[in-house]
Structure 1
């Protein structure tokens, strides 16, 4: 049987993309910029729904599990990367439907690539911090640290991902760029 919270997470992810697409279609295809702006401002409401559903499930006696941890991770990633996803989609819709300039692509090398990689990793660090805050909020809301102990496993897992990301991308590209400068 599928955990109902997993279904809520999936529904929130689908809801995010539906609200985003509706906002962009209203803004560019239908030429209703105010409606588009209202819909785009509503995208964070999806996160509120997920946070409330997670807290209610735990508060009503639910045992913390992977789904609750995933909800916290989803919220952290959504807060940290949500604006950049909106900007990414907005550039593409503006180009396709409103004659806007081609979307800006991230640099592929040089100091610009290094800055880009550090900025993206910084977003991940923010996602990790928000995830920690959500887990702490859930622990406090439930009032039983033993029942919510499994949530910290997601935080540790994100920490491992963050370390791999840190050394695999920003540190790696920084070292490559320094080696190029040294060779000149």
Structure 2
């Protein structure tokens, strides 16, 4: 595994470490400002990964799937980062500090709407990541060195389409709570 692959792994680990540090500092040690500083470090991790990827390409590396995954990671992190922090915050409050309300499980129309909003975030992540991929392709300006990036862009486009179909299917076939039966009006 090359250096950039390890940087992506380190970025993901670093993302969750600063979130956990932020939540522990905020709720256990009651240091809200320091907790917010830790939580605010998540975009810095993305910036470090972006710089590392750019330097690697600038030095003449042939763009690989790892470079493409770095762009995808950055897009997803920016688009979903706030929601992931909120998700972690709710669970930390409930399961660790026993102070917050139990995180709600969504079903039916509520779940479908939530998933559709998630798909909207996926679109934002796609535009950010695809923009980075397009920038790398343009910057390198050598199709033989950017073939992997074009491939990732194509696969991600297909995944985005599949995610949209899943999103719409949630409105057609809504999820139901386990153990609940559907009652018909045919009586």
TM-score by length of 1: 0.87
Residue in structure 1 matched with residue 134 of structure 2 by the alignment: 136
1:115 aligns with 2:79: no
Q: Cα deviations across residues 115-165 of structure 1 (Å, max 9, x unaligned)? A: 11211111111111111111123234x342422342121111111111222
Q: In structure 2, how many angstroms separate the alpha carbons of the residues matched to 1:157 and 1:143?
A: 21
Task: Tell me the SS of whatever aligns to 1:128.
Answer: helix
Q: In structure 2, how many angstroms separate the alpha carbons of the residues matched to 1:102 and 1:176?
A: 26
Q: In structure 2, how many angstroms separate the alpha carbons of the residues matched to 1:135 and 1:65?
A: 11
Residue in structure 1 matched with residue 69 of structure 2 by the alignment: 70
Task: Tell me the SS of whatever aligns to 1:150.
Answer: helix
Bigger proportion of residues as helix: 1
User: Does the 8 A contact of 2:57 with 2:140 survive in 1?
Assistant: no
Residue in structure 2 matched with residue 175 of structure 1 by the alignment: 172
Q: In structure 2, how many angstroms separate the alpha carbons of the residues matched to 1:176 and 1:8?
A: 40
User: Does the 8 A contact of 1:16 with 1:46 survive in 2?
Assistant: yes
Q: In structure 2, how many angstroms separate the alpha carbons of the residues matched to 1:87 and 1:150?
A: 34
1:65-104 matches, cutoff 5 A: 65-95=64-94, 96-97=96-97, 99-104=99-104
Residue in structure 2 matched with residue 36 of structure 1 by the alignment: 35
Moved runs in structure 1, 4+ residues, more than 4 A?
none
Q: How many residues align?
A: 175
Q: In structure 1, how many angstroms separate the alpha carbons of the residues matched to 2:131 and 2:113?
A: 27
Q: Which runs of 5+ in 1 are unaligned?
A: none
Q: In structure 1, how many angstroms separate the alpha carbons of the residues matched to 2:163 and 2:97?
A: 35
Q: In structure 1, how many angstroms separate the alpha carbons of the residues matched to 2:38 and 2:149?
A: 32
Residue in structure 1 matched with residue 11 of structure 2 by the alignment: 12
Residue in structure 1 matched with residue 152 of structure 2 by the alignment: 154
